[in-house]
Amino acid sequence: GPVMLDGITVSSTAIRDALRGGDMRGAARLLTRPFAIEGVVQHGDKVGRTIGYPTANIDMGRYLRPAYGIYAVRGTLADGRVLAGAANLGIRPQFAPPKELLEPYFFDFDGDLYGQTIEVALIEHLRPEARFDGLDALVVQMDADCARAREVLSARHP
């Protein structure tokens, strides 16, 4: 029969609703582990690199869609290393057709992940996507996002 957890029937609908609402802790409770996306790292648009935030871009493939925006994430590399980071999940309009990408930036890591399969667990939704006037405003916001993500991740064990 249906699986019950905290009196809620665990259904794909409940999981989908939690993800869509950006309730990653709720989704993790239903899934019994953080919601994670596995994919091969692709070349990005390289803008991140120029502002000090190189990202590893992953195509969203056939995964359920969580809310767009910025997340505190934990990445697991093929060699088993686990990295803390922040990621943007959203539409990249500069591609034709526009692509949905997960773009994690891992703290204190400068290796090249291109072509590697990594798993990225979405731990907490920090804020919705936003447009910024110029790179300066973007960098200021990225700094704040990363500080917040570090806080969230250090307060919580894997």
Cα of first residue to Cα of last residue in the chain, in angstroms, is 30
Q: Where are the domains of the chain?
A: 35-154
Tell me the three state secondary structure of residue 136.
helix
- Integer CA distances (angstroms), 68 to 20, 78, 101, 157, in order: 8, 26, 10, 24
The enclosing H or E element of 151 equals helix 134-154
Tell me the three state secondary structure of residue 96.
coil
pLDDT in tens, 101-111: 999 999 989 88
d(CA 27, CA 20): 10
pLDDT band with cut points at 50, 70 and 90 for residue 6 = low
pLDDT in tens, 54-65: 888 898 878 788
| CATH, range 35-154 | 2.40.30.30
- Residues 43-64: what's their mean pLDDT? 77
pTM of the model: 0.86
Crossing angle, helix 24-31 and helix 12-20, to 10 degrees? 160
Nearest CA-CA partner of 75 in 38, 24, 42, 40: 38
> What confidence score (pLDDT) does residue 5 get?
61
> What confidence score (pLDDT) does residue 130 get?
85
